[in-house]
Amino acid sequence: MLSSYSSRLRAATGALALLCALLFLPTALAQGLSPMDVAEIKTVTSATIAADGQHVAYTVSEPADPTEDNVPASTHLYVMDTETGEVTASYTESGVGSVAFRPAHGTVTFLTSGEDDDGRVLYELAVDGEEPTRLLGHATSIAAYTWAPDGERVAFSANEELDIPEAPLPYQPDLFEENQPQRRAFIADLSADTPEPHRFNVDGTVHLMRWSPDGTQLAITETPTPGVDDSFMAQSVQVVDADSRDVVANIANAGKIAQIKWSPDGEHLALRAGDNIHDPIDGRIMRVAVEDGAIPENILPEFEGKFEQILWTDDDTIHFLASESTARSFGTIAPDGSDFTRILTKDATALASFTPSGAGHIVFTASTPEHPQEVYLLRDGTDSPDRVTHHNEWLADRQLGTQEVVRYTARDGLFDIEGLLIYPLDYEEGTAVPLIVMVHGGPEAHYSNGWLTNYSMPGQVGAAEGYAVFYPNYRGSTGRGLDFILSSQGDLAGKEFDDIVDGVDYLINRGIADEDRVGVTGGSYGGYASAWMSTYYSPRFAAAVMNVGISNNISKWGTSDIPEELYLVHSRTRIWDSWVDNLKRSPIYHVDNAQTPILIAHGAEDTRVHPAQSLELYRHLKVRKPEVPVRLALYPDEGHGYIRASARLDYNLRMMRWFDTYLKGDDPEATLPAGNVEVSAQ
């Protein structure tokens, strides 16, 4: 069934028809942002600074032309001289990743797959822009690497080669969740005449790796299997001797983990991790001694935010980047949790990453409500970072809607909920306008006060077409501390989604939102919310766009690749202990209440939320509520979110035209092209 949908859609997404569709974009978009503009946006994806502070290496995601190639964006490498501001396009031949400055060498290293490579290989490049040198390859693609302090030894991870017997028949089925290679870890000494990788004596899959300050040990995380569920919930921290490559200590950590940092004396680790196994995120700072069986301790459990990045520096200080509701902060904290100091607090600049240099400069990546992510530089002795890259300069010719933080009280009075609102262009106070509610996924995620527009988020495209766009950080969102994020567990679609409706009521009462023209969209858990609003809360919503969303919690558990995470940090009860409750918290249970026109979209290869979730809601609506407009679009070769240029543009166009039809009353026959790409919202 999926294959037939895929083949039909594949035949319907030619470049010619897309070009026809673009010719029919509303003229109102000329002064604001259009879907085609969104498809052309370049974004800085990473930045790091040399130890001497003289150069910044950064990467830029550059999308393909969606009318020519349905391929993912390519990531290119650039190097900037911090004194002159001169930028060199250092490597743009293929996509790059894992960019770092090599210790004691001052060169830039990165992973890429060159023309003659069979997989991702480690390359080195001088900052003056000379041709890169191939440093290290492996039998399989290198997944990640980390330099020893001496800059000669490198630890890297790569999938093992599987010895699968040749099939006796000219056909072989895929054995589900079998023949998945473990990711092994190795050390190679590049100062040797013939560097030979030596494998860590670890049985499972290696994820994180971090050298000790003296280069004698590495802290790693390992999981029993390479499965996604294990990567979320079962990473164990181990300490490995660099010479013997044997495990010398097992840390008694529990929960999600994203970073490991060593203390300057090598006696402790700082983990950016979960507070416990039920913490949905890896946003706490956990300190632990490098001893077998040591238990990590949360150094600031009362922090009502989320630590996004940490770095333990030579002055025995932990630097951090944190989300605090819709704002971002950068600061320092002592390893025992004292001296918590914010150096920078940015409400309308979403700081995304930082890297300090030995010279005192700090490089950041950040976005604002006016532009996507760019490179910022905080020079030694200054108080505020300066923006030093300027991609998408054409954005200056686009009019953007005003973006502001909104706050309202939940109906049960337990929490004040915060979110962000983008007004339509030239909004006049007191005018009630159509509203699009953009619900984030997770639910362990949140919106920061930065750039909020992409192929699946209406943002400034909606503002250009006369919509207000609302981004609620409902309970269960990150950036508000442990109590707030844990408050939604065991209450799927309950008070968390009530918070969203309360936000709609708040905007209606303020005279901003037209109560008869409210739409909702979101992906993953946000898709779940969209389906819930179009069934359980259907009388409140005039249109919905559900993307890679959940419609049946029972079948969702049986088809997702994260069943343990679903239990440990979401439902907190086993599905077989609560069949009826899970069914009642499923949109399909409430289809008889549905009257909201809904566009359903899904990646045909999604393993997180299986496409059957969308098929179920579609079929229930078709059979039980045939009078309700519904359309299902399956995107071939896409997973839990879309990465290819044409698929992204197609989704953006379909989403906006669905809202135009059912929130603004546009006539699809008058505004949409004929042809084999149906962007019509009928």
CA distance 672 to 570: 41
Burial class (CB in 10 A: 0-12, 13-18, 19+), 413: exposed
Strands 142-147 and 284-289: unpaired
Q: What pLDDT score was predicted for residue 667?
A: 66
The residues near 597 (Cβ < 8 Å, ≥ 6 apart) are 542, 543, 544, 628, 629, 630, 658, 661, 662, 681
Q: At 677, phi and psi to the nearest 5?
A: -100, 110
Longest dimension (CA), the chain: 74
Domains of the chain in sequence order: 398-671 (3.40.50.1820)
Question: Per this entry, what is the length of the chain?
Answer: 682
pLDDT of residue 668: 55
433-439 vs 153-159, strand pairing mode: unpaired
How far apart, in whole angstroms, are the C-alpha atoms of residue 516 and residue 504?
Answer: 11
Nearest to 66 by CA among 9, 12, 15, 4: 15
DSSP one-letter code for 571: I
Q: Name the residue with tokens 């980390």.
A: 146
* Backbone dihedral angles phi then psi of residue 444, each to the nearest 5 degrees: -80, 75
Show the low-confidence residues of the chain (pLDDT under 50): 1-30, 669-682
Say how far apart CA 620 and CA 610 lie, in whole Å: 16
Distance CA 333, CA 507 (A): 38
DSSP string, 33-75: --HHHHHH--EEEEEEE-TTSSEEEEEEEE---TTT---B-EE
Peptide linkage before 356 cis (omega within 30 of 0): no
Enclosing H/E stretch for 247: strand 247-250
Query: Of 451, 470, 579, which is closest to residue 529 (Cα–Cα)?
Result: 470
Query: Whole-model pTM?
Result: 0.93
**CA–CA gap between residue 16 and residue 36 (Å, rounded):** 15
- Identify the residue whose tokens are 């509701």: 325
Q: What percent of the chain has pLDDT over 90?
A: 88
Report helix angle 15-23 to 645-663, nearest 10: 40
How many other C-beta atoms can be found within 10 angstroms of the C-beta atom of residue 25? 17
